[in-house]
Chain A
Amino acid sequence: MEIKPWKLNKAARCAHCKDATIHSIIIDRYKMKIKCRDCGFTRFYNFHVVNIPKRR
């Protein structure tokens, strides 16, 4: 089943420009991208592992 990437916004202090700015967050099955809308500083994450709880 194809699931579209999630799109979120977060107001937070940017690690690069140090200002309180809006960050665009895009999360898909294997990648995650967080970008400061003000200065453009971007962090990229890769999928690492999934933990599935045991069924009771």
Chain B
Amino acid sequence: MKVHLRVFVETENLGKAMNAMTEAGITGFYILEYKGMSPQDWKGFVIKEEPESAIGLIRDYATDAVLICSVVEEEKAEEIEKLISETLKKDKFTILEVPIRKIIVNYGNEEEVEEEVDVWLLEKEVPCFYCGENAVQRIRVDVNKAKIWCTNCGAARYYLIKGVERPER
């Protein structure tokens, strides 16, 4: 089963935590910067209810921290847990592991992108439409346009897509 691994560390320990996670073999991650207070620090605080007061308190007392998130296999999460515990044994950190029931990934316009980069390059020795000489003609065909140029006279002819004809099913 895959788990959503959330590692909370203080900003100065981000490098150490990231190295430990990379060593364990994570393939992707995302990071969120935040300001937070641990339960020990928060205990006994009573804040005034004005928004300025609450924001001021967070600004003055909360710690700059980072949340590193990644989706990993359960076994790998255990490995990461051990490595982080070892690397950050003298520092503050929190690890959460949340089980994942389902993952849906949509790559959006992947096909369109593939089509855009599909460029053909061809060569043929034929009479040029401009100079009439039998010379190598270079042809570049893109999805929406094409260019042919003569290696003898250098004339470049440009063509634009007019339409497509799809076969009947």
Name A residues whose Cβ lies closer than 8 Å to a Cβ of B: 1, 3-4, 6, 8, 10, 12-13, 15-16, 25, 27-29, 31-32, 34, 39-53
A32 to B147, CA, bound (A): 11
Label chain B's interface by main secondary structure.
strand
Which A-chain residue is minimally distant from B127 (CB atoms)? A3
Contact of B164 among A1, A25, A44, A53 (CB under 8 A): A44
Pick the contact of B129: A3, A15, A34 (CB < 8 A): A3
Q: Is B39 close to A, CB under 8 A? A: no
Give 7 closest A-B pairs by Cβ, nearest first: A40-B167, A53-B154, A45-B159, A42-B165, A51-B156, A44-B162, A48-B158
Q: Judge whether B161 and A50 touch: CB under 8 Å.
A: no
- Selecting from B83-91, B92-100, B116-124, the interface stretch reads B116-124
CB distance from B13 to the nearest CB of A (A): 48
14 A-B pairs besides A15-B143, A44-B163 with CB distance below 8 A are A3-B126, A4-B127, A8-B124, A10-B120, A12-B120, A41-B165, A41-B167, A43-B163, A44-B161, A45-B162, A48-B145, A50-B156, A50-B158, A53-B155
Q: In angstroms, how far is the closest chain A Cβ from the Cβ of B26?
A: 33
A52 lies within 8 A of B165 (CB):
no
Query: Which residue of A3, A8, A16, A47 contacts B139 across the interface (Cβ within 8 Å)?
Result: A8
Q: Mark B120-152, 1 if CB is under 8 A from A, else 0.
A: 101010111110100001010101011010000
The residue that A46 contacts in the complex, of B155, B159, B164, with Cβ under 8 A, is B159
A28 to B: closest C-beta gap in Å: 8
A6, B165: Cβ atoms closer than 8 Å = no
Complex interface: chain B residues within 8 A of A15 (CB): 115, 118, 143
Q: How many residues of B contact A (CB 8 A)?
A: 33
Q: Is B166 an interface residue (CB 8 A)?
A: yes
A50 touches B162 (CB 8 A): no
CB-defined contacts of B166 to chain A, threshold 8 Å: 16, 41
Q: Which residues of B contact A42 (CB under 8 A)?
A: 164-165
Query: Shortest distance in angstroms between A21's beta carbon and chain B's nearest beta carbon?
Result: 12
The residue that B130 contacts in the complex, of A16, A39, A50, with Cβ under 8 A, is A50
